[in-house]
Structure 1
Amino acid sequence: MATDAIIANGGKLAKLSQKTMDYLNSILPPFWSRGNPIDILGDAKADRYKAVMEACLKDENVDGILLIYTPQAVADPLEIAESIVELYKSTSYNYKTILTSFLGYEAVEEANKFLNKNNIPTYSTPEQAVKTYMYMYQYKSNLDLLYQTPEELPVDVAPPKRPLMVILKNVAMENREILNEAEAKTFLEYYNFPVVKTEVARTVDEAVSIAQRMGYPVVLKILSPQIVHKTEAGGVVLDINSEVELRDAFNRIIQRAKEYDPNAEILGVTVQRMVKKRGYEVILGSKTDPLFGPVILFGMGGIGVELFKDYSIGLPPLNQTLVRRIMEETKVYQLLKGYRNVPPANLKLLEGITVVFSQMLVDFPQLKEVDINPLFVNEADAFAFDARIVIDRKKVFEKVEPHQHLVITPYPKKYETTWRLRDGRTVLLRPIKPEDEPLWLEMFKGFSEESIRYRFFQVIKDTPHETRIRYTNIDYDREIAIVPELTENGQRKILGVVRVGLDPDRKSGEIAFIVADKYQHLGLGTKMVDYAIEICKDMKVEKIYAIMLPDNYRAIRLMKKMGFSVEYL
């Protein structure tokens, strides 16, 4: 039961090392299970439980142990519990998780109380213990992922918005909510989304003309606002290689569509080139939730998303690390890494596409649903074979405040600005990003002990990854940190940080700043503090305060110049 529960919840049994196996062979009866799960047999007493537990705790392949006890004539449950606690307290293995499931209710009640008293959790069934362990694992995995440094992806996600709003308004004024395939792909192309070029043909002669211009083979798809699932309606014909085949396919598609939905408005067909490449099909989509705003979906594409229900979800804005987490939660991710003679998909390209998709949802609250299925990807390329966009007509015509549709505040690009140092060099003042961790570390290495003491109130020799990521991965709704970025000889560096952490009421906040020693006396500290104050005004913050060491005379003098009053604690 425990093994089934582990596998069902996405875990796996540890493979015991040969050293552990040899030891267990020497202390257990010859007819033990000889593997994991370990059956130490019904004649086991407390000393055998303890010996096996210690061997498993020593094994580097083992992250956690679930001990399952059923009432036996020769084994006293309290003695077993005492031996477990003794082992746990007297060794250096207490960083490994130990869970127990003593079955038998009243017969094991005293043992369970003793275990709980000594901080070893007990569960009435093995399945409950497994679920708890997997929740712990998932929680730690999520934290580890959040503390990873995202890669800087080479994506341009700032297209002009006005032409895209024109597309949405034209659709809304025609009393439509759904963009046709050609309109949807045009919308995606503005974000440099890789799409298969698609044109609309109202008649069979138009379809022939388009196909001749594109070159055979081509694909025809029904064009109708009411027919969403084109394949189910018989509205897709692949690999058309001649005019004769195309005319026949056109007529068949129209006829099938009318039979599928007699009330559907048939606008014609779409024509696109047939892509004959080996690769993978995934789905990338979104739907607006009343509470959480746009929710992004990634999973197995084609009919697989409905047949296998293999998908994962996330909330925008997404960076490379968050995208990778969403992908890893699906079964199709294992396929994307390659199998048999099929090369792996270009995961970096797929991550970049998903980040761009996320940015599109951030930019346009008018998008109610987006469905890109299938999104084809192989080792080199990616193409959106089909796309569907549903809009909120009300939001198209009314003024919508930026980012109000999101539950996670995105990177505040509006706070980017340039400024010239006293020596003539230009820096970019911008909010800090999770991707800045390497730059933050290089900046920290340039601080003197005095600068570090003034900023952190103690001398810090080194900062671990977990600390660095907390300084760079911030919640822009509750904190703002501005860094001056300088690019010289193609190398980027940040010269300091000014940070304002807001209090829970968001009406006040604490400001702190530091400038790398090499770039002091260039007016940077004054500019950083001044800019942070302006941002706080924009965020409707009413009061800003700073806590400083009394001998930090230069910083105190700067704050006085900014209009701050000084109080000594």
Structure 2
Amino acid sequence: MTEPTKTAEHLRPYARDNDKPILASWMGGDAVASGEKILNEAGLPTFAYPDTAARVFNHMWRYSYNLRALYETPSLPEDEEGIPDRKAAASIVQDTHESGRVLMTEHASKALLSAYGIPTVETRVAETPEEAVAAAQDIGHPVAVKLHSTSITHKSDVGGVRLGLTSDAAVEEAFRTIDENIGGEGFDGVTVQPMIDRSDGYELIIGSSMDEQFGPVLLFGSGGQLVEVYQDRALGLPPLNRTLARRMMEQTKIYEALQGVRGREPVDLDALETLLVRFSQLVVEQPRVKEIDVNPLLARPGDDGLLALDARVVLHPYTKDDDELPTPAIRPYPRQYIGTHPMGDDEEITIRPIRPEDEPKLVTFHERLSERSVYLRYANLMKLEQRVAHNRLARICFIDYDREMALVAERPVEEDDDQIIGVGRLTKQPGRNEAEFAMLVIDEFQGEGIGTELLRRLVEVGETEGLDRITADILQQNHAMQRVCEKLGFDLVRGDGREMVKAVKSLSG
């Protein structure tokens, strides 16, 4: 027999151990009540049954896991020349929109994906048997011939797919057969594509759909014809970074196979992360898009192992105005606030909203601040190790753009890198339609107009976001910041004996 009271006494000291959570299950009703009381008074949670404690522990672990994902320093895919091609993407969407249709053709859907750097299988449109044969000869046999239609979504269901065609005669016959199967207005020709060897790959699905409350929602999982049977999928909210993309992948069963099983080579998971990030970028930047279904997305080992074999894009009805379109639950990166500013005679800096992956640059930024600059900003000499602590900088960089806006001034120092030399932040105040600003520029660039430009742009942001006023508390001895505020039309309120000067600028009316 166990001794519940003595055991509880032995456990009591561990309630102060912050490194490991302790959950207890004292079963036995009144017989163990005294031990249960000892644990509860010590701050150790107790449960009537161990399976309940196990479920609670699982929820705690999941919460911690998700929180770590949020505060990891993420990275975004390296930009490639011409990717994303937003002009081409907008033109593709506009062409379908102006035609009065909501369903994109497969060819247009793949072109939209390609504009965001998502690799797609080569697809040729043919309106006659002769064009189909010529396309097949150009691509090389064997080929696949599929229905090209502006109104029919699922081609296989209506006999609109012919695979493994190895001759011109087979291609011509496939064209005529699909035409006979469909007939009428549903037939707009065919597409001709190379046959892709799927034997060493996995069929995945990525997609987006619209939720009434959350706006666009992303999907990732096992794809192919059995997608509804497997039901192996994970959901996420755009926009994604690499860390969030990997978390989506990890929630699926197919993820284990993608890492390599039974002697098979692993898929390039970094490339798959990049693809998911770019896909989420497409979703948030093209508000006219209502649904996207990429199935299958073929994932094979090696370089260039990802390929979208089929795609379907549905737009919102053309009768819906732009201001009626759903918006993402998480506000995407506000690209409209990116701009440049001349500094000196021959140098130009970039001023843009902060990004989660800016954390390493902010560490360097804080390392170059003098004690005086730190004191004037924080009203105390906050130590460097406090200022560059990961948990602190993660919260500073990973912001909700609806609640605050932080702009960084970035100066090019190397071909592949930039240096943050100034930061301005606008934080909305709870319950009031106003925001408080804060500013910091590294010492060697103070006095060159960077702080003035950052604050001017923060004022513009406040006006664009519909704020009533912007305020700040400035130390009495921070004369430079006070002059900047006066230059930009702020009223300064000084009080006798007050350590701070109140800067106020009304934006309404």
TM range (shorter): 0.7 to 0.9
Q: CA 1:511–1:111 in structure 2 vs 1: closer, same or farther (change >3 Å)? A: same
Letter in 2 for 1:210: A
Aligned equivalents of 1:532, 1:487: Cα separation in 2: 22
- The residue number in structure 2 matching 1:265 is 186
Shift of 1:454: 1.3
Q: Does 2:458 correspond to 1:536?
A: no
Q: 2:212: which partner in 1? A: 290
Structure 1 counterpart of 2:123: 198
**Alpha-carbon distance between aligned partners in 2 of 1:443 and 1:112, rounded to the nearest angstrom:** 52
Q: Trace 1:388-427 onto structure 2 (pairs within 5 A).
A: 388-393=312-317, 396-401=318-323, 405-427=327-349
Q: Summarize the Cα distance change of 1:112–1:250 in structure 2 as closer, same or farther, 3 Å threshold.
A: farther
The AA in structure 2 aligned to 1:168 is T
| Distance across 2 between alignment mates of 1:447 and 1:388 | 52
Q: What residue is the counterpart of 1:501 in the other structure?
A: 427
Name the SS for the 2:125 alignment partner. strand
Following superposition, the deviation at residue 351 of structure 1 comes to 1.7
Rounded to whole Å, the distance in 2 between the matches of 1:225 and 1:530 is 49
Give the CA deviation at 1:422.
Answer: 3.5
CA distance in 2: counterparts of 1:503 and 1:326, whole angstroms: 33
**Which of 364, 384, 403 pairs up with 1:461?**
384
Check if 1:149 corresponds to 2:77. Answer: no
Task: Tell me, yes or no, if structure 1 residue 138 matches structure 2 residue 62.
Answer: yes
- Higher mean alpha-carbon deviation, 150-159 vs 428-437, is at 150-159
- TM-score (structure 1 length as normaliser): 0.79
- Could you say what secondary structure the match of 1:140 adopts? helix
- Tell me the distance in 2 between the aligned counterparts of 1:561 and 1:206: 68
Decide whether the 8 Å contact of 1:284 with 1:372 is kept in 2: yes
Deviation at 1:263, TM superposition (A): 10
Question: Is the 2:288–2:325 contact (alpha carbons within 8 Å) kept by the matching residues of 1?
Answer: no
Task: Kindly provide the CA deviation profile for residues 364-419 of structure 1, in whole angstroms up to 9, marking residues without a partner as x.
Answer: 222121100111123211211000111211xx354414985222111111111111
Alpha-carbon shift at residue 288 of structure 1 (Å): 0.5
1:404/1:265 CA distance change after superposition, 3 Å: closer
| Further displaced range: 307-316 or 545-554 | 545-554
Q: Paired residue for 2:2?
A: 75
Moved more, 270-279 or 446-455: 270-279
1:245-267, CA deviations, whole angstroms, 9 ceiling, x for partnerless residues?
Answer: 43455566567x56xxx999344
> 2-side partners of 1:184 and 1:461: how far apart?
50
Count of residues paired in the alignment: 484
Distance 1:154 1:421, change over 3 A: same
CA contact (8 A) 2:118 2:275 kept: yes
1:110–1:222 Cα change, 3 Å:
farther
Contact 1:479 1:500 in 2 (8 A): yes
User: Is the partner of 1:565 in helix, strand or coil?
Assistant: strand
Contact 2:92 / 2:108 at 8 angstroms: preserved in 1?
Answer: no
Hey, what's the Cα distance between the residues in 2 that align with 1:183 and 1:197?
Answer: 12
How far is 1:348 from its partner? Answer: 2.1
Alignment of 1:552 onto 2:478: yes
Task: Note the C-alpha offset of 1:343.
Answer: 2.0
Structure-1 residue corresponding to 2:502: none
Distance (whole Å) between structure 1 residues aligned to residue 33 and residue 103 of structure 2: 62
Q: Does 1:429 align with 2:351?
A: yes
Q: Which of these residues, 158, 167, 179, is aligned with residue 95 of structure 2?
A: 167
How high is the TM-score relative to the length of structure 2?
Answer: 0.88
Instruction: State the 1:499 CA deviation.
Output: 0.7
The answer to whether the 8 A contact 1:478-1:506 is kept is no
Q: CA deviation at 1:303?
A: 3.1
- Give me the whole-angstrom Cα distance separating, in 1, the residues matched to 2:166 and 2:49: 62
Give the alignment's Cα RMSD to 1 decimal. Answer: 2.5
The structural deviation recorded for 1:502 is: 0.8
- Structure 1 pair 372/162, CA: closer, same or farther in 2 (3 Å)? closer
SS across alignment from 1:547: strand
1:524 alignment partner, one of 450, 454, 463: 450
Work out the CA distance in 2 between the residues paired with 1:540 and 1:93: 48
Flag the structure with more relative contact order, 1 or 2, with Cα contacts below 8 A and sequence separation at least 6: 2
Letter in 2 for 1:544: I
**Bigger radius of gyration, 1 or 2?**
1
Q: CA deviation at 1:168?
A: 2.2
Residue deviations 1:198-234 (CA, integer Å, cap 9, x gap)? 2334454443232122211111234456754444555
- 1:304, 1:310 within 8 Å by CA — same for their partners in 2? no
Output aligned runs, 1:51-450, within 5 Å.
Answer: 74-86=1-13, 88-89=14-15, 93-155=17-79, 156-160=83-87, 162-171=90-99, 173=100, 176-223=101-148, 228-231=153-156, 235-247=160-172, 249-250=174-175, 265-276=186-197, 278-378=200-300, 379-381=302-304, 382-393=306-317, 396-401=318-323, 405-450=327-372
- 8 Å CA contact 1:150, 1:435 repeated in 2: yes
| Residues 433-468 of structure 1: per-residue CA shift (max 9 Å, x gap) | 111111111111110111111112222222211111
Counterpart AA for 1:141: Y
For residues 79-122 of structure 1, give each alpha carbon's deviation from its aligned partner in whole angstroms, at most 9, with x where no partner exists.
33232224x15xx7442111122333344344333322222112
Instruction: Give the whole-Å Cα distance in 1 for the aligned partners of 2:259 and 2:340.
Output: 42
> What's the CA shift string for 1:309-363, capped at 9, x where partnerless?
1111111111222111111211212222222332222222222221221121112
Distance 1:527 1:128 in 2: 57
Cα deviation, residue 554, structure 1? 2.1
Q: Percent identity?
A: 36
Task: State the one-letter code of the partner of 1:338.
Answer: G
Would you say the 8 A contact 1:403–1:409 is kept in 2?
no
Cα gap change, 1:227/1:421 in structure 2, threshold over 3 Å: closer, same or farther? Answer: closer
SS for the counterpart of 1:548 is strand
1:480-517: CA deviation from partner (whole Å, max 9, x where unpaired): 11111111332310111011111124511111101101
Deviates more, 1:322-331 or 1:100-109: 100-109
CA contact (8 A) 1:417 1:430 kept: yes
Which of 409, 415, 434 matches 1:484?
409
Give the direction of change, closer, same or farther, for the CA distance of 1:239–1:307 in structure 2 (3 Å limit): same
Q: For residues 197 and 75 of structure 1, what CA distance do their matches in structure 2 show?
A: 71
Q: Structure 1 CA distance, aligned partners of 2:17 and 2:472?
A: 44
How far apart, CA to CA, are the structure 1 residues paired with 2:401 and 2:251? 27
Write the distance in 1 (CA, Å) between the matches of 2:136 and 2:320.
40
CA–CA distance in structure 2, aligned partners of residues 323 and 248 of structure 1: 43
Change (3 A) 1:77 1:316: same
Distance in 1 between residues matched to 2:19 and 2:252, nearest whole Å: 30
Distance (whole Å) between structure 1 residues aligned to residue 364 and residue 221 of structure 2: 38
- 1:115-170 C-alpha deviation (Å, 9 max, x unpaired): 22222112223222122111111111111111111113124335105412332224
Which 5+ residue runs of structure 1 have no aligned equivalent? 1-73
3-state SS in 2 of match to 1:150: coil
